Amino acid sequence: MTEVRMGVDAVDRELVQLLKRRFGYMDAAARIKPERGLVRDEPRKAQVIENVRRHAAEAGIPDQPIADLWDRLIEASIAYEFEKFDRMRG
């Protein structure tokens, strides 16, 4: 069990680094988007969730819980991008 837990911890560290990379793209989006109203993009959110649902199903893991996680991730990303957008433009 110790090895399993160590493996889970290693994967969690990798996931955090991937999330850091993903949030870096939110920084870029906040710089690029000309208007605050463009930060929230519901069609894109739906597309991302559908993509991840499909990838999860193809990987043989439960797609609905993964879609739910991504919904929360996207909402956190949107909030982060709003914060960055507002900070950059005062």
Residues annotated in the binding site, as ranges? 5, 22, 33, 81
Q: Is 68 helix (H, G, I), strand (E, B) or coil?
A: helix
**Burial group, residue 2, by CB count within 10 angstroms (0-12, 13-18, 19+):** exposed
Cβ(14)–Cβ(66) under 8 Å?
no
Using N-to-C axis directions, what is the helix angle for 42-59 and 63-89, rounded to 10°? Answer: 140
Residues annotated in the binding site for substrate, as ranges? 5, 22, 33, 81
